[in-house]
Chains A and B, each alone.
Chain A
């Protein structure tokens, strides 16, 4: 499992191998909601997750 940096607290975050671009993760250590971003070269990084919007749901 790849280990990425939390952009909020700087700690390590383990991301599962089957993680998809856009997937949300909660960083247990600091409680931040993070989002996996994959760039054109396939590099993965975490950023602060997009906020839940009023039209989200099922």
Chain B
């Protein structure tokens, strides 16, 4: 029998438990698939909708692609997960759509990064195109530290981890996180770095507080979500001199901190959104 929703996970977190709870409360039939233990085949239709919640971007993208090919609605789509999962692909989308982000240079290896040094003004943020939770994201204040960052990244086997996004550092100690579901902007929070850390990811112990959603930010968020081809998307935004700059986009968003700050029941919203799709 085909379920209403398949929840695809690899390492379940609090978010996934809350989603299961809310799906159950709305009376939706769900199936839990752990992609780490379950072989996947094309043509299989375990549910009408697959909600993709794997923490590994590769796994998330592959699961979405296989389910989509089999005629299942994947949330998010494989395309949105792949593009959001790679910061260079993301910024390319944003640029084409005219969505502003901090000035960024791409260096595809160490030599290019060394040459980029002469084109930039410190401080900068250096980060690889993939990964999250602030891993390998470095605030670089001078050419000397930039050299050691380049040397360190050269030690990795992975091509992606040898690749540099060199981005103008936006000061302020905090950023905004906007959560978009379908055509609705659910809300926005400020995320501040825990003391002693300049990164504001909640996973690193950052602080959260509810923020005001103005019309400009609402439009920016909806446009960003739409150019990413996403349905459930988190957008991290800087506010600088009265304007908004998109920092990152997340295709499998975490929302513990968002729920804490806004008191919005995100899993409930997700379950209701899925129910509305099933009724169409």
Which A residues have a C-beta under 8 Å from some C-beta of B? Answer: 18, 20-24, 35, 37, 50, 53-58
Contact = CB atoms under 8 A, between A and B. Distances in A.
A15 B34 CA distance: 18
Interface in B1-51: 9-12, 16-17, 32, 34, 36-37
A23 B20 CA distance: 14
A57 B37 contact: no
Given A56-B56, A56-B132, 10 more contacts: A18-B17, A20-B9, A20-B17, A22-B37, A54-B160, A54-B161, A55-B57, A56-B57, A57-B250, A58-B132
Which of the four size classes fits the interface of chain B? 20 to 34
29 contacts: A18-B17, A20-B9, A20-B16, A20-B17, A20-B34, A22-B10, A22-B36, A22-B37, A35-B11, A37-B37, A50-B36, A54-B128, A54-B130, A54-B135, A54-B160, A55-B57, A55-B58, A55-B85, A55-B131, A56-B56, A56-B133, A57-B131, A57-B135, A57-B250, A58-B133, A58-B250, A58-B251, A58-B252, A58-B254
A20 B12 contact: yes
If over half of B's interface residues share one DSSP class (helix, strand or loop), that class is named, otherwise mixed; here it is: loop
Contacts of A24: 11
Contacts of B12: 20-23
A58 B55 contact: yes
A55 B17 CA distance: 22
